[in-house]
Structure 1
């Protein structure tokens, strides 16, 4: 029905325009499914498949890059993700991801934190972080 109205979910966006998933170079997982990525960013999955702890970094909810990543790559809205984090924090069952203020800070934190995961626009990529493919 939505397709008949010209509305598609997730929105049709060129892959090169979407922020990409990036991790610390020590992460041994080269690709993740959307469901696994969503579980990690929702803070429900806390380890990589090899058992290493995942440290999740995100930009603020009002940052347009965060909005694009969450909507285009995770197929949820930023407020839905925030509600999940708030529920875990307030119930004492988990914690929210670490917020960073810029993509430069995101890159630096991911490059220096084993097990780190986040997202960047392609122009911020360098050889200190690795791109994780989403299936």
Structure 2
């Protein structure tokens, strides 16, 4: 069971979990709660916050077709500037450090937040590109994307409505 929990959590989440367990160890001892039990139960309680169903969206008015995860990664990493149909594609990011940002880049590009920061620092320094516009949270991304058919962003699947169209699911 411990192995399953460790596989489900990323390194950053495991470190955060360890910090929580260590910080509350005196309280847990007073309450006669074994720290191993807390270590095993805490990730299960918090897993829904980490495990999100992210989708890549464009305006409902856009003619863009479905995208593969590799195509999405290419757009958000700046190596591709248009959708497969030829329409301009301008990526819009959520704020670095948010759960959605971390999940998106882990799943779509296979990169951690630190790796993305290093990637964009390198790209900006060499003049080869700039990071996507930071829109804030999912609601702000949806609002921007819905108003401009050239913008593409990612949001939680629960936020999808008639104003946006899903191009890809990030699993």
Q: TM above 0.5, one fold?
A: yes
Aligned to 2:107: 72
Aligned to 1:83: 118
Shift in Å at residue 91 of structure 1?
1.6
8 Å contact from structure 1 (residues 30, 132) kept in 2: yes
Unaligned runs of 5+ in 2: 11-46
Shift in Å at residue 129 of structure 1?
0.7
How many residues in Structure 1 have an aligned counterpart in Structure 2?
128
Structure (1 or 2) with the greater helix fraction: 2
- Using a 3 Å threshold, how does the CA distance of structure 1 residues 74 and 26 change in structure 2: closer, same or farther? farther
Kindly indicate whether residue 133 of structure 2 is the aligned counterpart of residue 112 of structure 1: no
SS in 1 for 2:92: strand
Greater relative contact order structure (CA < 8 Å, 6+ sep): 1
Shift in Å at residue 131 of structure 1?
0.5
Which stretch of the first structure deviates more once superposed, 88-97 or 27-36? 27-36
Q: How does 1:94-133 map to 2 (within 5 A)?
A: 94-133=129-168
User: What's the C-alpha RMSD, in Å, of the aligned pairs?
Assistant: 2.6
Shift in Å at residue 86 of structure 1?
2.0
Unaligned runs of 5+ in 1: none
Kindly indicate whether residue 56 of structure 2 is the aligned counterpart of residue 21 of structure 1: yes
